[in-house]
C-alpha cells in the first residue's frame, strides 16, 4: 500500500507512466562527481543530505502511475487541461518531486523524534517490498536497476513517514466547535439532523394532472408559453379542478387532460413518491397537510400547472423509526471520525509546510525538463 499521506488529498499528486520513463536511465548523464553517483547512476533529487538516484525515482514513478491510471484510466495522459491548466503529465511530473521531498523530510523528522521501525513493522515492510517487486515486469526492473534492496529502502521510508504522521496527529486534538462546524457543512448530515424523523420516513404517494407551460419549437427545443397563452391554459386548469371537486373520477381527468413532458420520468403508473419532510418546495405548501384521497389546489412549477391527488400516505412504524435512529447514530459517529481525521491531516500538512521551508532541495532541472513524456 502506497503511503497514504501522499495520496489522500488529490489525484493530481501522481507520477508518470512506466513506459514513458523507461528511457530515464539513458537520459540522465554522469555529470555529477563520483561522490554523487551510485553504481554509475547520477542523483536526480537532493533533499538535505539525501541523494535520490534513478532507480529510486522509478519506484515512485511505478507506484503513483498505477494509482493515477486506476482513477483516470489508461487515457488519463491525454488530458491537456488536467488541473489548473496543466496537462496530466505536467501534474504528474510535479508530483514526482513533491512526493520524494515529502518522504525525505519526514525521514529526517523521524530521526529528530527518535522514531524507528520495530521488528514487526520491518517484517511487514519486507513482505510488502517483496510483493511489490514481484508485480513489476522484468523489463522494468532490468532497465531501471530496481532490485529488492532499493525496494525495501523505499518501503521502509514510506513506513517511517507514516509513523511520523501518526505520532504528530495523535498529539493534535481538534476543538469541539471546529468539529461540529465542519460536520454541519456536510449537507446530508445537516439536513437529517434538523429533520423530524417521523415526517422524514412518512411516504406520500401522489398522482397529478399536468398542464405544461413549455412546448417544443420548430427546432425541437422547449420554450415557455407567452403570458396570454399561459392565461388561457390556466383557465382550462381551473375548469378541470372544478370537475375533480364535483366528483369526476381523478383517473379519468388525468387520462384525458394531463400533458406529460417527460413521461419516462414518472414512477409506476404515473405515481410520485415523496418523503413528507423532503417535499419539493414548490409542492410543499399544498401537499404537506393533505390527507389520503384529497385533491390539491392548482400548483405552479417550472413545468406548468399541477393538480395533485394524494393516493396514499404510509407512516413509519416505531421499529422503523428505531432502526433509522440507530443508523443515524452510526452515520454521525463515522462522519465525526472522518472530520477529525481531516482536521488532523490539515494540521499536519500546515506543520509539514513549515518544516519544508528550511529544507535544502536541489533538482537536476535540466535533465528533468527535457524528458519527453507523451502517450
Interior angle at CA 94, CA 57 and CA 11, nearest 5: 100
Q: Is residue 39 domain-shared with residue 155, that is, in the same domain?
A: yes
Q: What does the H/E/C string look like for 48-78? A: CCEEEEHHHHHHHHHHHHHHHHHHHCHHHHH
pLDDT for 193 beyond 90: no
Give the three cell numbers for residue 284.
Answer: 410543499
Radius of gyration, alpha carbons of the chain: 32
Which residue did the predictor score with more confidence, 1 or 199? Answer: 199
Give the three cell numbers for residue 350.
Answer: 500546515
Rounded CA gap, 109 and 128, in Å?
Answer: 23
Residue 13 neighbours by CB under 8 Å, 6+ apart: 6, 7, 64, 95, 98, 99
Q: Where are the alpha helices (DSSP H) in 246-299?
A: 250-257, 281-287
pLDDT for 44 beyond 50: yes
Strand partners, 42: 37
Which band of pLDDT confidence, cut at 50, 70 and 90, is reported for residue 2? very low
Q: What does the H/E/C string look like for 295-346? A: EEEEEECCCEEEEEEEEEEECCCHHHHHHHHHHHHHHHHHHHHHHHHHHHHH
Tell whether 375 is covered by a domain.
no
Which residue did the predictor score with more confidence, 40 or 154? Answer: 154
Number of domains forming the structure of the chain: 2
Q: What is the pLDDT of residue 18?
A: 33
Tell whether 328 is covered by a domain.
no
Q: What is the pLDDT of residue 367?
A: 67
Give the three cell numbers for residue 371.
Answer: 524528458
Tell whether 319 is covered by a domain.
no
Tell whether 144 is covered by a domain.
yes
Q: Is residue 162 domain-shared with residue 243, that is, in the same domain?
A: no
Strand partners, 304: 212
Q: Is residue 228 domain-shared with residue 99, that is, in the same domain?
A: no
Q: Is residue 152 domain-shared with residue 245, that is, in the same domain?
A: no
Q: What does the H/E/C string look like for 302-315? A: CCEEEEEEEEEEEC
pLDDT for 280 beyond 50: yes
Q: What is the pLDDT of residue 372?
A: 45
Domain boundary among 272, 295, 314: 314
Q: Is residue 309 domain-shared with residue 352, that is, in the same domain?
A: no
Tell whether 191 is covered by a domain.
no
Q: Is residue 153 domain-shared with residue 270, that is, in the same domain?
A: no
Q: Is residue 162 domain-shared with residue 258, that is, in the same domain?
A: no
Q: Is residue 124 domain-shared with residue 269, that is, in the same domain?
A: no
Strand partners, 208: 308
- What is the average pLDDT across 73-92? 84
Q: Which of 54-68, 154-168, 250-264 has the lowest mean pLDDT?
A: 250-264
Q: What is the pLDDT of residue 8?
A: 36
Which band of pLDDT confidence, cut at 50, 70 and 90, is reported for residue 12? very low
Which band of pLDDT confidence, cut at 50, 70 and 90, is reported for residue 7? very low
Give the three cell numbers for residue 112.
Answer: 529528530
Give residue-wise pLDDT tens across range 163-172: 999 999 988 8
Rounded CA gap, 307 and 209, in Å?
Answer: 5
Q: Which domain holds residue 42?
A: 4-173+348-370
pLDDT for 11 beyond 50: no
- What is the average pLDDT across 241-249? 94
Cell 513506459 locates to: 19
pLDDT for 78 beyond 90: no
Rounded CA gap, 375 and 40, in Å?
Answer: 29
Tell whether 181 is covered by a domain.
no
Q: Is residue 77 domain-shared with residue 161, that is, in the same domain?
A: yes
Tell whether 188 is covered by a domain.
no
Q: What is the pLDDT of residue 64?
A: 77
Which residue did the predictor score with more confidence, 369 or 235? Answer: 235
Q: Is residue 100 domain-shared with residue 17, that is, in the same domain?
A: yes
Q: Answer whether 209's CB lies under 8 Å from 254's CB.
A: yes
- What is the average pLDDT across 102-131? 95
CATH number, domain of 251, equals: 3.10.50.40
Which residue did the predictor score with more confidence, 341 or 7? Answer: 341
Residue 74 neighbours by CB under 8 Å, 6+ apart: none
Tell whether 189 is covered by a domain.
no
Q: Is residue 30 domain-shared with residue 129, that is, in the same domain?
A: yes
Q: What is the pLDDT of residue 370?
A: 60
Cell 532541472 locates to: 365
% of the chain residues with pLDDT over 90: 53
- What is the average pLDDT across 22-46? 52
Q: Is residue 234 domain-shared with residue 147, that is, in the same domain?
A: no
Give the three cell numbers for residue 337.
Answer: 471520525
Q: Rounded to two decimals, what is the model's pTM?
A: 0.66
Average pLDDT over the chain reads 83
pLDDT for 350 beyond 90: yes
Amino acid at each position: 500500500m502506497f503511503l497514504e499521506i501522499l495520496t489522500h488529498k488529490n489525484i493530481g499528486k501522481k507520477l508518470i507512466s512506466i513506459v514513458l520513463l523507461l528511457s530515464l536511465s539513458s537520459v540522465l548523464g554522469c555529470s555529477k562527481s563520483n561522490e554523487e553517483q551510485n553504481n554509475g547512476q547520477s542523483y536526480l533529487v537532493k533533499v538535505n543530505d539525501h541523494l535520490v538516484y534513478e532507480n529510486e525515482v522509478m519506484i515512485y514513478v511505478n507506484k503513483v502511475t498505477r494509482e493515477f491510471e486506476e482513477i483516470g484510466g489508461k487515457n488519463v495522459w491525454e488530458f491537456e487541461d488536467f488541473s489548473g491548466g496543466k496537462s496530466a503529465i505536467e501534474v504528474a511530473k510535479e508530483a514526482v518531486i513533491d512526493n520524494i521531498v515529502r518522504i525525505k523530510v519526514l525521514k529526517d523528522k523521524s530521526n529528530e523524534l527518535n522514531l524507528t521501525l520495530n521488528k514487526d513493522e520491518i517484517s511487514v515492510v519486507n513482505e510488502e517490498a517483496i510483493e511489490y517487486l514481484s508485480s513489476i515486469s522484468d523489463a522494468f526492473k532490468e532497465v531501471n536497476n530496481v532490485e529488492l534492496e532499493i525496494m525495501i529502502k523505499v518501503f521502509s521510508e514510506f513506513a517511517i513517514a507514516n509513523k511520523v504522521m501518526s505520532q504528530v496527529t495523535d498529539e493534535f486534538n481538534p476543538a469541539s466547535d471546529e468539529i461540529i462546524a465542519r460536520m454541519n457543512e456536510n449537507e446530508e448530515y445537516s439536513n437529517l439532523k434538523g429533520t423530524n424523523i417521523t415526517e422524514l420516513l412518512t411516504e406520500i404517494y401522489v398522482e397529478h394532472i399536468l398542464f405544461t407551460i413549455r412546448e417544443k419549437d420548430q427546432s425541437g427545443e422547449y420554450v415557455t408559453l407567452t403570458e396570454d397563452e399561459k392565461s388561457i391554459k390556466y383557465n382550462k386548469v381551473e375548469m378541470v379542478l372544478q370537475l375533480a371537486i364535483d366528483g369526476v373520477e381523478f383517473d379519468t381527468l388525468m387520462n384525458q387532460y394531463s400533458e406529460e413532458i417527460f413521461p419516462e420520468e414518472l414512477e409506476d403508473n404515473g405515481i410520485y413518491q415523496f418523503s413528507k419532510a423532503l417535499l419539493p418546495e414548490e409542492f410543499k405548501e399544498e401537499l404537506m397537510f393533505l390527507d389520503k384521497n384529497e385533491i390539491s389546489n392548482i400548483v405552479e412549477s417550472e413545468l406548468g400547472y399541477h393538480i395533485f391527488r394524494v393516493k396514499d400516505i404510509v407512516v413509519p412504524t416505531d421499529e422503523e423509526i428505531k432502526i433509522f435512529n440507530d443508523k443515524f447514530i452510526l452515520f454521525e459517529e463515522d462522519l465525526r471520525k472522518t472530520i477529525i481525521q481531516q482536521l488532523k491531516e490539515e494540521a499536519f500538512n500546515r506543520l509539514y509546510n513549515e518544516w519544508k521551508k528550511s529544507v535544502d532541495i536541489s533538482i537536476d532541472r535540466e535533465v528533468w525538463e527535457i524528458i519527453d513524456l507523451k502517450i
